[in-house]
Structure 1
Amino acid sequence: MKNFPFYFFILCIFFASCKSQKKEEPDSSSEEVTDTIETAVQKVVNDIIIDPITHATTIIKWKEKTIYIDPAGGAKAFEGKKKPDLVLITDIHGDHMDIETLDSLNLSKSEIIVPQAVAEKLPAKYTDQLIIINNGETKEIQGISIEAIPMYNLREEALKFHNKGRGNGYVITLGDKRIYFSGDTEDIREMRDLKNIDIAFVCMNLPYTMTVESAADAVLEFKPKQVYPYHYRGTEGLSDVAKFKELVSKDPSIKVLQLDWYPEKNQ
């Protein structure tokens, strides 16, 4: 028994070492989120945070940059959110260009990227902050490449909603990731011709944009790595995003993910 203190001391060191190693194991909660989330508040893809607000309105956070896409919904929708460095507006309709919401936000240090049609309708107080970009143009703003993609209707009965050349979809390049926001469009050739899109946000609501089937068919052609249905509330309620996912699943290389742009439906 003379050696008991020595053995006890060795055991203590062993258990302390095990405990230390356990603490050094990586936290699985910090890994990239890849599963489908039905009612998520945010989505993290590598170092990009996607924050759905409502309908077409989205916040993208990347490194130190915060980007608002089509801010709408009033000041309450942005409570607790970081002030934007960039604001991108796609079109003149109120669910994209919401002047009341813009006036309620602190945009004192923001640059506002818009097509010419939007610039002509915004109050003069925003003129010095505007950067006009039209279909087919690419500009680098605050170190971020922004490309304006056409968005328009094809069906004869829908031509009155979005005519070619007025509004912009956008491809935003953040680091090595290319993110596409369709804006209000049908499955136009310019969307189908997109290349190397990592994350796509694709609209699907009637009568204003396109059917679930048209959206899925376009996605199957331009093959983004990930696609999020957004802007999917029409005059007859929400589009069938589950059907969209089923149709796109024909190509297993495309991951369909869902965020909740319509939290009011759960209340």
Structure 2
Amino acid sequence: MKKSIFTFIVCLLFTVAQGQSVDKIDEIAVQVIEHATFAITWNGKTILFDPSVEKGKLHNVQSPDLILITDIHGDHFNIATLENLDLSKATLIVPQAVADQLPEKFRRNIHVLKNGEETDLTGIKIEAVPMYNLPAAEESFHTKGRGNGYVLTLGTKRVYISGDTEDIPEMRTLKDIYLAFVCMNLPYTMTINQAADAVLSFKPKIVYPYHYRGQNGKSDISTFKQLVNSKDKSIRVLIRDWYLSK
């Protein structure tokens, strides 16, 4: 059988407590937790993103090697959640605004990144990329330069985490993204139409709509999938329920 240029296999491995699922995407395991919180396991390393949920929703997460926090808002940065984690081997990667609010006990092993900076930790390249609202103004929910989106290089795969952003030029011009996590909720980030347009611009191989609960409920992520795939069927949109208990 002739092989396609892009071979994709997503295998649902198992369901864990609180209804959370773990997806095996090639050598990357993705554990959906809630809203902006999720974990990736790769090459024996566990990376936890924006831990901001109650303790019981994290007890199936391996002790993290890396914790990436995008912004200062409570659905991304929660000191009580950090206190409930085993941080004995963890490095926290944060923007300066988060570092400024961390209690002293968490500052022993942090790495501050600004937009445009990068580092290599535990064999993982981490790039901090912009995330902000348009127009970029001081009264915006997310001002330019305060928070970070991230691009991680896991072996040969580039993974993009949008954080709270609109469809900014810096997202539209991303290159060679294999796996993306893209937010969509009003009034804080963007509409499903904006998110779809952005995804169609930078063309990740696989995309999770996440962070999709806003002031008036949840965004219609099924329609987001339709908007993307009506124009590009090659982009795999993975629909997961990030709010099983809500």
Q: TM-score, normalised by structure 2?
A: 0.90
Asked if structure 1 preserves the Cα contact closer than 8 Å seen for 2:136 and 2:144, the reply is no
Asked if structure 2 preserves the Cα contact closer than 8 Å seen for 1:42 and 1:259, the reply is no
Alpha-carbon distance in 2 for matches of 1:74, 1:172: 26
**2:235 corresponds to 1:262:** no
Alpha-carbon distance in 1 for matches of 2:69, 2:236: 26
1:135 corresponds to which residue? 115
Identity of aligned residues (%): 56
Alpha-carbon distance in 1 for matches of 2:207, 2:24: 14
**2:80 corresponds to 1:103:** no
Alpha-carbon distance in 1 for matches of 2:236, 2:139: 31
2:140 to 149, 157, 160: 160
Q: What amino acid is the match of 1:252? A: K
When the two structures are aligned, how many residues end up with a matched partner?
232
2:224 corresponds to which residue? 244
Secondary structure at the residue paired with 2:148?
Answer: strand
Alpha-carbon distance in 2 for matches of 1:138, 1:81: 26
What is the 5 A alignment of 1:196-211? 196-211=176-191
**2:221 corresponds to 1:253:** no
2:127 to 147, 151, 168: 147
Higher relative contact order (CA closer than 8 Å, sequence separation 6+): 1
Q: What amino acid is the match of 2:228? A: V
Q: CA RMSD of the aligned region, Å?
A: 1.7
Alpha-carbon distance in 2 for matches of 1:252, 1:58: 26
1:32 corresponds to which residue? 9
Alpha-carbon distance in 1 for matches of 2:245, 2:188: 21
Please report how far the alpha carbon of residue 159 of structure 1 lies from its aligned counterpart in structure 2 after TM superposition.
Answer: 4.5
Asked if structure 1 preserves the Cα contact closer than 8 Å seen for 2:167 and 2:198, the reply is yes
1:259 and 1:40, CA in 2 relative to 1: closer, same or farther beyond 3 A? farther
Please report how far the alpha carbon of residue 125 of structure 1 lies from its aligned counterpart in structure 2 after TM superposition.
Answer: 0.7
Alpha-carbon distance in 1 for matches of 2:209, 2:103: 31
1:42 and 1:64, CA in 2 relative to 1: closer, same or farther beyond 3 A? same
Greater helix share, 1 or 2? 1
Residue deviations 1:194-243 (CA, integer Å, cap 9, x gap): 00000010000000000000000011000101111000000111101011
Greater strand share, 1 or 2? 2
Asked if structure 2 preserves the Cα contact closer than 8 Å seen for 1:158 and 1:207, the reply is no
Q: What amino acid is the match of 1:83? A: S
1:79 corresponds to which residue? 59
**2:41 corresponds to 1:61:** yes
**2:117 corresponds to 1:117:** no
Alpha-carbon distance in 1 for matches of 2:11, 2:81: 32
Alpha-carbon distance in 2 for matches of 1:158, 1:196: 32
1:237 and 1:174, CA in 2 relative to 1: closer, same or farther beyond 3 A? same
Alpha-carbon distance in 2 for matches of 1:219, 1:148: 19
Alpha-carbon distance in 2 for matches of 1:225, 1:159: 35
Q: What amino acid is the match of 1:125? A: K
In the alignment, structure 1 segments of 5+ residues that lack a partner are 1-30
1:231 corresponds to which residue? 211
Alpha-carbon distance in 2 for matches of 1:79, 1:247: 36
Please report how far the alpha carbon of residue 74 of structure 1 lies from its aligned counterpart in structure 2 after TM superposition.
Answer: 2.0
